[in-house]
A and B are shown apart, each in its own frame.
Chain A
Amino acid sequence: MAARSVFRSLWTSFAGLKLESRGTNLSSLRTISIEGQILEVPVGAQPPNPTAKCPIYRWNLQNKYNYTDVLLLSQFIRSDGGMLPRRVTGLCPEEHRKIAICVQMAHRAGLLPDHKPKLPEDHVPKRPKPKLNRYLTRWSIDSVKPIYKTGLKWCKKRMPVGHPILKNNVRYGVKPLYIKH
């Protein structure tokens, strides 16, 4: 298989700028030109199942990844932390959802510190938020209400941990997966 070239940047264009200087009547034209190069990326390892459509199925990683596998998850996210669209990555809908949920959990656990959204320079946070360590958070932090009345044992309001979409993951121990704590 020939080496697939990766097109790093798309910008090969002139951006003409007109500068009006106050004193003189001259308008100096400043052109900015950005050149993109098609880089040759060397061929890596071959997938064990090349005929499958979804990349996860091609590499036989169906039920084997978790929120901790950041090296895998970082291949499907943008630099500001958002997921890439399914039509570009080629993931099947279930795996795309699973990866999105794992990426969400990894963000909330603080495992992707460099993929934060870019804030404008003069952004001042209103009050310093306490940095609490967490992991396997299913719901967004601001959307959850405290459980003031947990109820009796037969009708207890449980606190969910992890996500049920990952219930088919491979488990190498005897203990079952506890979703409701």
Chain B
Amino acid sequence: MSSFSRSAQQWATFARSWFLIDARMQPPGKIATMCSIRLQGKHKPIYHALSDCGDHVVVINSKHIAFSGNKWEQKVYSSHTGYPGGFKQVTAAQLHHKDPKAIVRLAVYGMLPRNLHRRTMMQRLHIFPEDELPYDIQANLTEELPQPREIPKKLSEYTREEIDAFPRLWTPPEDYKMK
């Protein structure tokens, strides 16, 4: 901005912003890519891996994420406690029931670069299962990001006029008992 003084412009460029993402009815993978890009700072032209230019990201409604396909039943999250016989495998549905934040957290963790900065970037990621945010995080938010997936409308959400404006594709025969 030309109206800013040099020091104010410098401060504005290197400030750490707080982004908000609503994960309702969104695939967790797409949410995770958006988070990982902003946590690393790759959305900024001043990006450098060593310059710690990542921002904070707040994800809300992580309890209401939507998986495509049958991934709730098919996707398996594995872990090992380190002890013999400690190999645990849980499906996405079971893991989500136990901890609604885990799926988004694990997805973002897997998308960040595998170096020592990853843990600090994960500390800057804040996931909330529902809409409620603590007041201090709410006060810090600067921008809300658009949702990656367009949520389709249910049949009950269409107005009477829209339903009537849609043409009838076929007419039933006269002697057929409808529905």
Contact = CB atoms under 8 A, between A and B. Distances in A.
27 contacts: A7-B176, A10-B175, A59-B167, A67-B152, A68-B152, A68-B153, A70-B152, A70-B158, A71-B155, A109-B152, A111-B154, A130-B96, A132-B66, A132-B67, A134-B67, A134-B69, A134-B71, A136-B69, A137-B68, A141-B73, A146-B75, A148-B89, A159-B71, A160-B70, A161-B68, A181-B68, A181-B71
Contact of B172 (A45, A88, A150): A88
B172 A6 contact: yes
B173 A137 contact: no
Nearest to B27: A135
B152 A146 contact: no
Given A70-B155, A133-B65, 14 more contacts: A7-B174, A67-B152, A68-B152, A71-B163, A79-B179, A89-B170, A110-B154, A132-B66, A134-B67, A134-B69, A141-B73, A145-B73, A146-B73, A150-B76
Contacts of B71: 134, 159, 161, 181
Give the dominant DSSP class at B's interface: loop
B154 A70 contact: yes
Most buried by A among B69, B74, B97, B175: B69
A109 B172 CA distance: 28
A74 interface: yes
Interface residues of A, number: 54
B140 to A, nearest CB: 28
Most buried by A among B74, B162, B166: B74
A111 B68 contact: no
B126 interface: no
Interface in B1-35: 25
A58 B167 CA distance: 12
Interface string A52-81: 000110110000000110111011001100
